[in-house]
Amino acid sequence: MRIGGSLFLIAVGAILNWAVSAHVKGVNLHAIGWILIIVGAVGLLVTLIWMSTRRRTDVIHRGPVGTTGTTYYSPNDPIDAPY
């Protein structure tokens, strides 16, 4: 589940919880709304944590035109810094 799916679940849960006043026999729409809000919030939190911890790599090309001098730099690992 990504950010869009999480926001969709939160929105549907909020609609079921606060905007729907219908009663269905044997189904508590408010409880379903809260469950969807919680699942969406957990999915959003997991997605944001996953996105912030993923490895990023920058490619730096050095040297005059026609030569190859590529350095791969990861900002999370200061040992590989090209400075």
Instruction: Return the sign of the alpha-carbon dihedral for residues 31, 39, 19, 25.
Output: negative
Q: What is the DSSP code string of 24-59?
A: BTTB-HHHHHHHHHHHHHHHHHHHHHHHHHS---EE
Q: What percent of the chain has pLDDT over 90?
A: 51
Q: What is the pLDDT of residue 32?
A: 95
For residue range 4-56, list pLDDT tens digits in order. Answer: 999 999 999 999 999 999 889 999 999 999 999 999 999 999 999 988 876 66
Q: What is the pLDDT of residue 13?
A: 97
Alpha carbon of residue 65 to chain centroid = 39
Confidence of residue 1 (pLDDT cuts 50, 70, 90): confident
